Amino acid sequence: VNGSVISSATSYKYLGVNLQNDLSWNIRVSSIVNKANRTLGYLKRHLSSAPPNIKHLAYITLVRPQLEYASAVWDPSTAYLVRDLEAVQNRATNFITSNCSPYTSISSLKKHMNLAELHVRRRAARLSLFHKFYHSPAIRSSYINPPHRISSRIDHKLKVVRLKCNTQSFSNSFFPKT
């Protein structure tokens, strides 16, 4: 750029999201899991005697936004990254309910507290962002292709062409995955 050489890097943080040259999200997920665990530890130290509704509000306000920031873009596809993210919410659920028993079902506790699984919330965020792209004429023409033909019997007028993917990295990116 302007006669200067741009150095290569394995990862780069842009707008709070770690981008990697191999298009994986390992660094992003590990950094937000570490940050969310630190915040959760702070809450555990300072709100240990607070009622469950205050703990729940603190989790929803301070920890979960860290786990979901820009998640429509970086939603991981590998099971171990999804598991690492969900583990933070599981620890928060135990903290909120003051549950110390390893025999209590975390999923039933989360259901009782109306905490949806994080991968479900990330999918909803992806669909919401896709809806915004679809209904914005300037952006839609650049990224979303109309179908070659629409059957009046089996299709609907909002149909889009599914992108063909040659690589696993591209198939796990925003548009093909959504």
Interval 127-175: pLDDT, tens: 888 888 888 877 777 677 777 777 778 877 777 777 777 777 777 777 7
CA dihedral 96, 102, 104, 108 (to 10 degrees): 60
Q: Is 44:139 a contact under the CB 8 Å cutoff?
A: no
- Burial (CB count within 10 angstroms: exposed 0-12, middle 13-18, buried 19+), residue 168: exposed
d(CA 171, CA 176): 5
Q: How many CA atoms lie within 13 A of 103 on its CB side?
A: 0
pLDDT at residue 6, as a whole number: 78
11: β partners: 20
- Give the model's pLDDT for residue 82: 92
Strands (E), 120-175: none
DSSP secondary structure letters along 127-161: HHHHHHHHT-HHHHHHH-PPPS---TTT--TT--P
104 pLDDT higher than 90? no
The residue among 163, 156, 166, 167 whose CA lies nearest residue 177 is 163
Residues 41, 28 contacting (CB under 8 angstroms): no
This prediction has a pTM of 0.80
Both tokens of residue 10?
């394995």
Residue length of the chain: 178
| Distance, CA of 168 to CA of 161 (rounded, Å) | 19
- Residue 59, pLDDT score: 96
More confident residue, 176 or 134: 134
Whether residue 176 has pLDDT greater than 70 = no
pLDDT for res 33: 96
Cα separation of 18 and 133, whole Å?
23
For residue range 36-92, list pLDDT tens digits in order.
999 999 999 999 999 999 999 999 999 999 999 988 888 888 889 999 999 999 999
**Strand partners for 14:** 17
**Per-residue pLDDT reduced to its tens digit, 6-29:** 788 888 888 888 888 888 888 899
Q: What's the gap between Cα 39 and its chain centre?
A: 18
Per-residue pLDDT band for 1 (boundaries 50, 70, 90) equals low
